[in-house]
Amino acid sequence: MLKGNKNLVTYGMLSGIVMLAPLFFAGGYLLNVLVFVGINTLLAVALNLLLGFAGQISLGHAAFFGLGAYISGVSTATYGVNPWAAMLLAAVAVGLVAFAIGFPILKLKGHYLAMATLGFGIIVYIVFNETVDLTGGPSGLSGIPSFTVADFSFDSDMKNYYLIWGITLVAIVLSANLVNSRIGRALRSIHSSEVAARVMGVNVRLLKVQIFTLSAVLSSIAGSLYAHTMTFISPTSFGFNFSVELLTMVVIGGLGSILGPLLGAGLLTLLPEFLRTFQDYDIIVYGLLLVLMTMYLPGGLASGFTAMCARIRSRFSREVVKNAQG
Amino acid sequence: MAHQILQYMLSGLSTGAIYSLIGIGFAIIYNSTGIINFAQGEFVMLGGMLTYVFLALFDFPLPAAMGLAVVLTTAVGVVFERLAIRPLRNATPLSLVIITIGGSILIRGIAMLQFGKDTHAIPAFSSNEPLTLAGATVLPQHLWILGITLCIIAVNRFFFFHTINGKAMRACSHNRRAASLVGIGVKRMVLISFAISSAMGSVAGIITAPLTMTSYDVGIMLGLKGFCAAIIGGMSSGIGTVFGGLLLGVLESLGAGLISSGYKDAIAFIILLLILFIRPQGLFRKAETERV
Amino acid sequence: MTGKTGKSVKTAMLALGLLLLTAAGAWSAPPIKIGGLFSITGPASFLGEPERNTAQMVVNEINAAGGIKGRKLQLIAYDTQGDATRAVQAATRLIKEDRVVAIVGPSTTGDTMAVIPLVQRAEIPLVSCAAGIRITEPVKPWVFKTAQNDYLAVQRIYEHLTRKRIKRIALLTVSDSFGSSGREQLKSQAKRYGMEIVSDDTYGPKDTDMTPQLTKIRGGKAQALICWGTNPGPALIARNAKQLGVKLPLYMSHGVSSKKFIDLAGGAAEGIILPSGRVLVADLLPKSDKQKKALLSFVRDYQKHFRAEGDHFGGHAWDAVMLLKGAIERGGDSPAAIRNQLEKTRNFAGIGGIFSYSPTDHSGLTKDAFVMLEVRGKDWALLK
């Protein structure tokens, strides 16, 4: 109960910060970057469910992101479907695909699983490139409409910011609830020992496929949000590199933590903007920071963050004790 | 038609030989540390690029340039292990993987700034005149690639089965704790594995550069393909991965020639996925019972 | 050599920085800010780097000559890495933070398509350095481009083939935005010229062996092979074709029209024919050629600053900055005035060709922008 209250406070504060942030950035370009931070956070939350809690690696999550974006993009730009309906359509379709391939793929373990998801990602990427008549091929697909509600159109960074962060916050809270539920405990049991989980009566195979599907659906929603915000998509945004970047966000943020994805996605999305001052050397600084952060914060930013909070709290309580004694 | 198929096979085998060589590099590090080393492709790039640098900028003769490139790349591999991998004793394999991703970005970035973004060609080891073989043609460089790959694999096998260090490394790959209990210096073995992998990667980069040319960013794609070769081969540092690489090369080549060049990588990956679905434990490993 | 180039770029930049600093003290009027979006790193860096270098060089020269009506020009250039998301972030930064009056670039068609909705909404003129036909067709009020349309190059190649009485062709195009745009144009215009496409293959931008595709083409009925890509792929194709003994005449796109291609392909480049902007053969042009003056000065300056050969990629940025300069001189530095004046540009002799924009044409060039070249004796020869 106490824990629940503390979480409530954390989420309340988080939502407050997120909702007020645009006041400081309004009109600036950083708001635009924060829109992408929101999308990447949603993706990192999705991948963290799979990797951080169920312990199943995926090197192909950019494919689900891309499928969401392309199903949304093609159905709205070419066939005139309403963007909201398109987002739903994409989520259902991607969910079905993930559920179907989940059974054979999640039978694999360790590096075989990495390879299979990587292969899936590459196949999907090639399909985006080669089905030129449908997707526009490597030159991309433009003219994707923004989201609208009656006459209100989500056509500015500010409006998209609230839309995307609203959905992302809901996803964070849902994933936290899921993790602290019976399902979450079963998931973590798979992570520690699949055999033990099975012995305890967990339907390991089905559960893994379900969480894989949920993760894919969230990624697909992120894809739809991306497509309708950018109004242009091209295959290069959904390649192997982006799958690796997502993996990096989750690990740098902190595996299996609720705030980790937010921190990881925030850092890795904002970093290139701040590194622009280094001009051509930005790529080196980026690589170096990645190595150093992993070396000195092996538990991810979230653990560093928690440790910092704990230190502040302990100092604060010591002060309180001292004051009380004095 | 028959000689076309033969040409596809030959092209596929020579590309596949390179995938095998890179794949073995992956496998050696994986077996001694449990890390999938994403910087493996950068060793391949360094091999080719450094050879070019010594050739073009310092006017070294080709063999000297190649030798120096291998030595320098090996040094990079060793330094990378000492600075970034060894200090982390209790890190999870996944954070080590992220370190190798960071390392690969770093190495690629430095290469880009130092050597520029252009593609460079280096001369063939011997003549450039094609040889005809039953209607199919190969270049002398293809023979060099096949020959050197075979040599390296043979040396590798000798090392792992007939030298004390090699045997110790195999012991580590089976069970690190047991190995250290019988007095094997596990840390040293990890260092050696990085040295061997980076040397092999650089050789792969050098022998292909005369055919495929080289630039600061060739490592990504080649690394990916080598990784696949190693996995088909069940992460073996021997014949399994060789077969994996050759299979991948031939599948790509046949796919491009007979079905569709646009989908050639997709075709290769679909077949690989089917293989994995039928044999989830890989092609070359007997099903293991899981320790509980 | 490349290391040296890098260093000299840096010295040039430093010199420029100092120049700007001293200039800022001496000149009270604020500079006119123009933005640059170039793929300086990433797979399209062979475009972005010369473009960024050239744009900076031209801006320096304009300032050294007294600026535009006494006001300095300032270039703020960002790297898009050839990635649509980054291009949008960088463009937003240029518009909202740096408040530029016009933008040069992006380098690739994909990046350009990604930022078009933004500049259209913000009403900032954009002069793209990318070639894709969809950038200016249909015409968008705020979007112009300097790179020659792909279909102009295709027309040149097809005319040449017709003259040689070749009817059956094989295509081998790269699967990125440059290649797919070329492939689309090659296919859509084949009928007009009575061409029959007997095989249509692609290769990946990072592929290292194209012998399978070429083996297939060798066994087919084609009379000529047209390859559409940028370095290093086409150089590999030339080498692989030589290895396989492919006897078909080989046509390339303007994507490889730089000396680099001949270096990479080596002996295999001999006899290859391609359409190209005039910049490669500036010294071979007759005196009467209207572009000759601009071409020679660009080639000379680029050589001086970067110790490298100026190619037509850098030329796209040269044209873009000079077009903006002309527009600002005529109408002042408000975005709307720049847009209106750009549209009124007539007969501007630049690097890529002679530009004449109009309300219905924002690409500005005709097929005269291309000449046909052949590789002979490791150099370019002008074909009549």
What are the residue ranges spanned by the domains of chain B? 13-124+138-278
Q: Is the model's pLDDT at B290 over the cut of 50?
A: no
- The confidence score (pLDDT) of residue C2 equals 44
What are the pLDDT digits (tens) for A193-210? Answer: 888 888 877 888 899 999
Name which of A291, A292, A296, A297 to mutate to probe chain B: the one with the most chain B Cβ atoms within 10 A of its Cβ: A291
B116 part of contact set with chain C, CB < 8 Å: yes
The DSSP result for A43-60, as a single string, is HHHHHHIIIIIS----S-
Q: Report the C-alpha gap between B75 and A270 in whole angstroms.
A: 34
Q: How far apart are the first and last CA of chain A?
A: 33
What are the pLDDT digits (tens) for C267-281? Answer: 899 999 999 988 888
Q: Report the C-alpha gap between C14 and C11 in whole angstroms.
A: 5
| CB-based contact B36 A111, cutoff 8 Å | yes
Number of A–C residue contacts, CB under 8 Å = 86
Q: Report the C-alpha gap between B54 and B56 in whole angstroms.
A: 6
| CB-based contact A248 B282, cutoff 8 Å | no
Report chain A (326 residues): mean pLDDT per 10 consecutive residues.
Answer: 62 84 79 93 95 88 97 95 96 96 89 88 94 90 91 88 94 88 84 82 87 96 96 92 91 87 92 81 85 82 78 71 61
- What sign results for the dihedral spanned by CA atoms C276, C279, C284, C285? positive
Query: Rounded mean pLDDT of B267-271?
Result: 87
Domain ranges in chain A? 2-242
Q: Report the C-alpha gap between A273 and C150 in whole angstroms.
A: 33
The domain defined by B13-124+138-278 folds into: ABC transporter involved in vitamin B12 uptake, BtuC (1.10.3470)
User: How far does the CA of residue A120 sit from the closest CA of chain C (Å)?
Assistant: 18
Query: Rounded mean pLDDT of B250-271?
Result: 89
Task: Provide the mean pLDDT of chain B.
Answer: 88
- Which of C49, C209, C212 faces B117 most closely, judged by CB atoms? C49
- The confidence score (pLDDT) of residue C37 equals 96
Residues of A in contact with C121 (CB under 8 A): 155
A319 part of contact set with chain B, CB < 8 Å: no
- The confidence score (pLDDT) of residue C91 equals 94
Helix ranges (DSSP H) in A156-193: 157-179, 182-192
Give φ, ψ of C295 to 5 degrees: -60, -50
User: How far does the CA of residue B39 sit from the closest CA of chain C (Å)?
Assistant: 18
Q: Report the C-alpha gap between C347 and C354 in whole angstroms.
A: 6
Q: Do domains C2-148+292-367 and C150-276 have the same CATH topology?
A: yes
Positions of chain C with pLDDT lower than 50, given as ranges = 1-4, 25-26
B212 part of contact set with chain C, CB < 8 Å: yes
Neighbours of chain C (3+ CB pairs under 8 A): A, B
Name which of A48, A56, A115 to mutate to probe chain B: the one with the most chain B Cβ atoms within 10 A of its Cβ: A115
What are the pLDDT digits (tens) for C49-108? Answer: 899 999 999 999 999 998 888 899 999 999 998 889 999 999 999 999 899 999 998 999
Residues of B in contact with A62 (CB under 8 A): none
Task: Provide the mean pLDDT of chain C.
Answer: 88
| CB-based contact B121 C264, cutoff 8 Å | yes
- Which of C89, C96, C180 faces A137 most closely, judged by CB atoms? C180
Residues of C in contact with A142 (CB under 8 A): 113-114, 116-117, 134
B41 touches B283 (CB < 8 A): no
User: How far does the CA of residue A125 sit from the closest CA of chain B (Å)?
Assistant: 9
C170 touches C201 (CB < 8 A): yes
pTM: 0.90
Q: Report the C-alpha gap between C99 and C85 in whole angstroms.
A: 20
Name which of C39, C171, C206, C306 to mutate to probe chain B: the one with the most chain B Cβ atoms within 10 A of its Cβ: C206
Give the three-class secondary structure for A195: helix
- The confidence score (pLDDT) of residue C88 equals 93
Q: Report the C-alpha gap between A293 and A163 in whole angstroms.
A: 31
- The confidence score (pLDDT) of residue C1 equals 40
C46 part of contact set with chain B, CB < 8 Å: yes
Domain ranges in chain C? 2-148+292-367, 150-276
Q: How far is CA C45 from CA A91, B48, B236, C96, C111, in A?
A: 36, 20, 37, 26, 13
CB contact residues (below 8 A), chain A span 11-30, against chain B: none
| ipTM metric | 0.87
User: How far does the CA of residue B91 sit from the closest CA of chain A (Å)?
Assistant: 6
- The confidence score (pLDDT) of residue A321 equals 63
Q: How far is CA C3 from CA A171, A223, B266, in A?
A: 49, 41, 38
- The confidence score (pLDDT) of residue C8 equals 59
Residues of B in contact with C213 (CB under 8 A): 256-257, 261
C179 part of contact set with chain A, CB < 8 Å: yes
- The confidence score (pLDDT) of residue B201 equals 95
- The confidence score (pLDDT) of residue A193 equals 81
- Number of helices and strands in chain B (H, E): 11, 2
- The confidence score (pLDDT) of residue B292 equals 41
Class of domain C2-148+292-367: alpha beta
Domain C150-276 has CATH 3.40.50.2300: yes
Angle in degrees, 0-180, between the axes of helices B186-212 and B2-33, rounded to the nearest 10: 160
